[in-house]
Amino acid sequence: DIQMTQSPSSLSASVGDRVTITCRASQTINSYLNWYQQKPGRAPKLLISVASSLQSGVPLRFSGSGSGTDFTLTISSLQPEDFATYYCQQSNSPPYTFGQGTKVEIK
Amino acid sequence: EVQLVESGGGLVKPGGSLRLSCAASGFTLSGYSMNWVRQAPGKGLEWVSSISGGSTYIHYADSVKGRFTIFRDNAENSLYLQMNSLRAEDTAVYYCARGTATMTNNCFDPWGQGILVTVSS
């Protein structure tokens, strides 16, 4: 099975900060990497698919990059509504494993 | 509007069974793979199971293999998860989520609101 490792597990940042979250796969997954945002008490929401494809309606401050085993989610200028937990997920092959999550908190 | 609504959760004793349902609307169910993902209290997301549009391909997490069965009724626009031999560690919010047409790059969008399953004596 492919293991997904996110870092950091949590971070504190201020509004306007640039935030970067990384996700590493235990073996190559090509570009089959997706990013989700989850707010407390809510279902996850797909932000980015295939490593860098921004979903409709997702603000342009979100971007994704990477291929193979190393991937990055970047929020260029953190907004109050971005405080949430972010998960990566590999969709190269089942089991479709998730990273452990990165909680973005207000500094 | 694409919508997924789960039902069937609740409290069940260890060793018991429960069947979750997911009612889909706003799209043609047969054109998409469908998935179950769960989240234990205070924990991260765990993929549980996936089924292709025509039910040809089915996959399970090792943690539920042999105990859970995913199936679908495209005519009724519904997805199901039959859960048997339930354990305390199956306690979680269960989400259904739409996948992709071919299960290639099986990203999940959208998700239902989730339904709580509690396994406790």
Express each pLDDT in A9-18 by its tens digit: 999 999 999 9
Among candidates A1, A44, A45 on the partner chain, residue whose Cβ is nearest the Cβ of B45: A44
Output the pLDDT for position A95. 96
B106 and A100: CB-CB below 8 Å? no
Instruction: Provide, rounded to the nearest whole percent, the portion of chain A with pLDDT above 70.
Output: 100
Among candidates B35, B44, B95 on the partner chain, residue whose Cβ is nearest the Cβ of A43: B95
Output the pLDDT for position A19. 97
Among B3, B9, B7, B8, smallest CA distance to B24 is for: B3
Residues of B with CB under 8 A from a CB of A: 35, 37, 44-47, 50, 59, 61-62, 95, 105-114
Q: What is d(CA B46, CA B42) in angstroms, rounded to the nearest whole number? A: 12
CB-based contacts of B47-52 (< 8 A; 24+ apart in sequence): B47/A89, B47/A94, B47/A95, B47/A96, B47/A97, B47/A98, B48/B81, B48/B94, B49/B81, B50/A94, B50/A96, B50/B99, B50/B103, B50/B106, B51/B79, B52/B103
pLDDT at B87 over 80: yes
- DSSP letter, residue A106: E
Which band of pLDDT confidence, cut at 50, 70 and 90, is reported for residue A107? confident
pLDDT at B77 over 90: yes
Which band of pLDDT confidence, cut at 50, 70 and 90, is reported for residue B38? very high
Q: What is the mean predicted confidence (pLDDT) over B17-23?
A: 98
Among A47, A72, A96, smallest CA distance to B109 is for: A47
A99 and B109: CB-CB below 8 Å? no
pLDDT at B23 over 80: yes
Output the pLDDT for position B105. 83
Residue B33: both structure tokens together = 């793979």
Among A104, A98, A103, A84, smallest CA distance to A23 is for: A98
Among B23, B32, B20, smallest CA distance to B4 is for: B23
Among candidates A45, A91, A94 on the partner chain, residue whose Cβ is nearest the Cβ of B105: A91
What is the per-residue pLDDT across A43-80, written as a single tens digit (0 to 9) for each? 999 999 999 999 999 999 999 999 999 999 999 999 99
Token pair 């105990």 is at which residue? B67
Could you tell me if B21 and B8 are in contact, meaning their C-beta atoms sit under 8 angstroms apart?
yes
Token pair 């998700």 is at which residue? B111
What order do you get walking across the sheet with B68-73 strand by strand?
A: B3-7, B18-25, B78-83, B68-73
Choose from B56, B102, B105, B115 for mutation: most chain A CBs within 10 A: B105
Residues of chain B with Cβ-Cβ distance to A44 below 8 Å are: 37, 45, 95, 108, 111
Q: What is the mean predicted confidence (pLDDT) over B38-53?
A: 97
